[in-house]
Amino acid sequence: KRDPERPKRPLSAWLRYLADYRGQNKTMEAKKVMKVRKQNPQVKMTEQSKLAATQWKALSPEAKAPYEQKAAVEAKTWKEAMEKYKASGKEAAFKEKTGRDVQDKLKAKKAAKEAQLKEKEQAAKAKAKVKAKERVAAKKAKETEMKLRMKARADVKKAKEAEKKTKASTEARAPAFESRAAAASEGGVNRPSDSWAALEDAGPCLEGAYSQECVAAPCCGGLGGSHGHGG
């Protein structure tokens, strides 16, 4: 049931046009619209709205202007009337009398509950999105850490192999160093440093052929005087 004192909402521009299309008005605009409808006399009343909608969309702004202008004027008048109606207390009194105030409260409560549920859903989605990003970031961090560990292991392995190679090379040259140290000792050089370990640090000359004079040279530790080496 509607409050008889409540201002009636005016028709929109489209509904005004539809009324003219159906022949409910006798204005000049209605007569023009009726001509269009008479071109389709076989169309049922239920299908007229669809045809009218097609015609309305095809109208130029100039053709729509009379409907839109009237709708705008009446909408403004209706809005002012509604403000006065609510301010007078008639709306509240009618709702209380008919029990609509209770219905409004129930509707408001339902709307608030729905809004709360929607807010929770949005919060849950946002939280899930954050967690998904965190999982991706954690996975990338783990992959990066694993690559670094593998690189560190490879570096350690490489260093050990280099150390092993150096040690093997030194051990392979040890007999030659000992032999040359013994030769130097027999030649008269008789000091604690006369060993292949001392000769190992002597310089580049150890990479070539050795003689008693070379071993005794300054570049070989100064074990027996000078013979012209530049070491």
- DSSP-assigned states of every residue in 65-87: HHHHHHHHHHHHHHHHHHHHHHH
CA distances from 120 to 23, 115, 126, 130, 132 (A): 52, 9, 10, 15, 18
* pLDDT of the residue at 97: 83
pLDDT at residue 118 in the model: 92
pLDDT tens figures, 70-88: 999 999 999 999 999 999 9
Please answer whether residues 220 and 180 qualify as being in contact, where contact means their C-beta atoms are separated by less than 8 angstroms.
no
pTM of the full predicted structure?
Answer: 0.40
Dig out the tokens for 65 from the structure. Answer: 């202007």
Res 70: pLDDT: 94
3-state SS assignment for residue 229: coil
Q: Are 221 and 202 in contact (CB under 8 A)?
A: yes
Distance, CA of 43 to CA of 50 (rounded, Å): 10
Q: Is 146 left (phi over 0), alpha (psi -120 to 50) or beta?
A: alpha
Residue ranges of the chain whose pLDDT lies below 70: 23-46, 101, 186-231
What's the token pair of residue 185?
């000792």
Q: pLDDT at position 215, please?
A: 46
Q: Give the per-residue pLDDT at 223.
A: 44
Q: Which of 222, 169, 229 is nearest to 198 (CA)?
A: 222
Strands (E), 157-214: none
| pLDDT tens-digit series, residues 14-36 | 999 888 877 655 555 555 655 55
Token pair 């002597």 is found at: 202
67's tokens: 């409907």
